[in-house]
Amino acid sequence: MVPGQLPPLGTLRAFESVARLGSVVRAAAELHVTPGAVSRQVRQLEEALDLLLFERRNRALHLTPAGQALQEACADALGTLTQAVARLRATAQPAPLVLSCEPTLAMRWLIPRLPALQADLPMLRLHLLTAGGPVDFAADRVDVALRRNDFAWGSHGFAEPLAPEWMAPVCTEPVAQTLIRQGGLGAGVPLLHTRTRPQAWARWSTASGQPLPRVRMHARGLAAQQFEHFYLSLQAAGAGLGVAMASAYMVVDDVRAGRLVAPFGFVDDGTGYVLLSPRPLAADARQQALLAWLRAQMRASLRGLGLNPAPGPS
């Protein structure tokens, strides 16, 4: 070998693996080659260097002084290469923006719009988590959180308004015809409640000025049913089991497709959605872009239901 010329890099990689693992067999498994191929590469390296790198004693491999020196050099070089590649990958592909979103809103509104998000913001890589209520940004490794402003998030977070909440009772068309025949909400059709928004019906009643029927027993059972999660009550409404209270954003696609109807119309219930972050969003261009996109999509959803949201921040 010409002085100063490196031996084939493949032989150095095979040698480093054998030296680190102390076994040709384990090195072959790590490199996804046969033990014979690893042995040949080590012999090729020894011939190129004209040095003995391993001694076999008691059926075990032991590094010679030359082998020990070469192993240390290989470990340093591979470590430097590994760190350099990691830095390059981090520069070329930034970590995804982690968004925490309320489960029902994520399933019924955001996820169906992710293709549009990718088309509109192709450079934004988004990682979606589902959760509701308070968020611990550090512990949960969350960058921003989409929440309804029905809880206190403390003085350490920042909130950007997205859109007002519009609510309405929704059901299938046959159930709506029953409501029309009986003159409105009544005992003939069960009201579907959810534990995650226990005040939803009361808020709608106050905002709309329409009274709620009293829950009572009748021949077909209770005139009200309760579900553990919001999306379960909406699923039950879609199955024709009764009338569920719904957010406009969570049913806009179903209403426009005719799977659900809102016979009493939507009303602004006085709450709204916000985008929470541990720091001002102005410091992060990706978060600013996501904020603007969410606002535009939520406004489009309201307009799709014939609602005219008041102009908000852009």
> Is there a single domain that holds both residue 179 and residue 241?
yes
Per residue in 53-99, pLDDT (tens digit) is: 998 888 788 899 998 999 999 989 888 888 888 877 766 667 899 99
> Is residue 304 one of the residues assigned to a domain?
yes
If you write DSSP's letter for every residue of 160-200 in order, what string do you get?
A: EEEEEEEEEEEB-HHHHHHHHHHTSS-TTSPEEEETTSTTH
Contact 124, 286 (CB under 8 A): yes
> Is there a single domain that holds both residue 85 and residue 197?
no
CATH number at residue 158: 3.40.190.290
The one-character DSSP state at 11 is H
> Is there a single domain that holds both residue 125 and residue 100?
yes
Domains in the chain, number: 2
- In this prediction, residue 57 carries a pLDDT of 84
Contact 54, 18 (CB under 8 A): yes
> Is there a single domain that holds both residue 23 and residue 88?
yes
Give the domain-ending residue among 92, 111, 132: 92
> Is there a single domain that holds both residue 60 and residue 204?
no
Give the domain-ending residue among 61, 92, 123: 92
- In this prediction, residue 219 carries a pLDDT of 38
Q: Which two tokens stand for residue 164?
A: 């007002």
> Is residue 222 one of the residues assigned to a domain?
yes
> Is residue 243 one of the residues assigned to a domain?
yes
- Residue 136 buriedness (CB in 10 A; 0-12 / 13-18 / 19+): exposed
> Is there a single domain that holds both residue 181 and residue 57?
no
> Is there a single domain that holds both residue 144 and residue 250?
yes
CATH number at residue 73: 1.10.10.10
> Is there a single domain that holds both residue 79 and residue 112?
no
- CA dihedral in degrees (57, 62, 64, 69; nearest 10)? 180
Give the domain-ending residue among 92, 113, 134: 92
> Is residue 120 one of the residues assigned to a domain?
yes
Q: Which two tokens stand for residue 119?
A: 């088309």
> Is residue 4 one of the residues assigned to a domain?
no
Tell me the backbone φ, ψ of residue 262, rounded to 5 degrees.
-120, 85
Helices H / strands E in the chain, number of each: 12, 12
Other Cβ atoms less than 10 A from the Cβ of 280: the count is: 11
> Is there a single domain that holds both residue 300 and residue 178?
yes
How far separated are the first and last CA of the chain, in Å rounded? 68
- In this prediction, residue 171 carries a pLDDT of 95
> Is there a single domain that holds both residue 118 and residue 161?
yes
Per residue in 174-197, pLDDT (tens digit) is: 999 988 888 888 767 889 998 888
Residues in the chain where the model's pLDDT stays below 50: 216-222, 314
What is the span of the domain harbouring residue 273? 96-314
> Is residue 2 one of the residues assigned to a domain?
no
> Is residue 3 one of the residues assigned to a domain?
no
**Which residues in 110-131 are b (16+ Cβ under 10 Å) and which e?**
beebeeebeeebeebebeeeeb
> Is there a single domain that holds both residue 132 and residue 197?
yes
> Is residue 242 one of the residues assigned to a domain?
yes
If you write DSSP's letter for every residue of 261-309 in order, what string do you get?
A: B-TT--EEEEEEEEEEESS-GGG-HHHHHHHHHHHHHHHHHHHHTT--P
> Is there a single domain that holds both residue 215 and residue 177?
yes
